[in-house]
Amino acid sequence: MFPYKYICIEGNIGAGKTSFCNLVKSEFNCKLILEQFADNPFLPLFYDDPERYAFTVELFFMTERYKQLQKELSMDLFYDFTIADYSFIKTLLFARQNLGDEEFRLFQKMFSVLNQSFPTPDLFVYFHRNPDILQKNIGKRGRSYEKKISDDYLSGIQNAYFEYFRNILTFPLLIIDLNDIDFMKNRDHYEEVKSYLSRTYLPGVHRLSLSL
């Protein structure tokens, strides 16, 4: 059992967040919160024309995440803990990457108001993989609208996360370097990642590496 009531698993596109959360759900009595990204009708348009659809796609994501987390993060006595494959801060980090300065300033104001509604995760976990490995995982998913995602875009998202991590002082943040780990195929790797989440960490950033 994990010593945390609310765990967020974060990472870049294709990092394995959802797969890991589903494995945890299959083993524990926990509430599972998965991002409903496929419901964003503007996402395929964004990958075709990012400049035109960036603000629209980010605004849609923000409102949908807000509605989902408002509903799901209520107290629930029937579960031992909650695990989510995203955090609301993801909204701001992706917007910083995708929006121009004027649009981002407006977006940031709206985000700040909505973000006050949510509790801080008891443990924030970031799955780190290099862009080439992310691209392999993205290709395996077979989503046509993701084919245009570039290494530069993935690197930009990664940099946005690490810039955010520099200011984390009030809650524990765990960065796990997964490299080419596939915990869906190798149970030992899943167990090792799970063991990292079973430890108690002080507030601030902690980094561990899981290698083949």
CB hemisphere CA count around 207 (13 angstroms): 5
Per-domain residue ranges of the chain: 6-209
Among 25-29, 152-156, 207-211, the least confident range: 207-211
Q: Are 125 and 8 in contact (CB under 8 A)?
A: yes
Query: What is the C-alpha separation between 114 and 63, in angstroms, rounded?
Result: 9
**Structure tokens given for 168:** 């984390």
Question: Which amino acid type is present at position 81?
Answer: F
pTM: 0.91
Residue for token pair 């990204």: 37
**Structure tokens given for 119:** 């509790």
Between 19 and 74, whose confidence is greater? 19
Query: What is the C-alpha separation between 102 and 53, in angstroms, rounded?
Result: 15
Tell me the pLDDT band of 211, cut-offs 50, 70 and 90: low
Residue 38 pLDDT: 57
Give CATH superfamily name and number for 6-209: P-loop containing nucleotide triphosphate hydrolases (3.40.50.300)
User: Once rounded to an integer, what is the mean pLDDT over residues 41-69?
Assistant: 89
Query: What is the C-alpha separation between 207 and 134, in angstroms, rounded?
Result: 19
The beta strands (E) that lie in 18-154 are given as: 30-33, 81-84, 123-128
Residue 142 pLDDT: 82
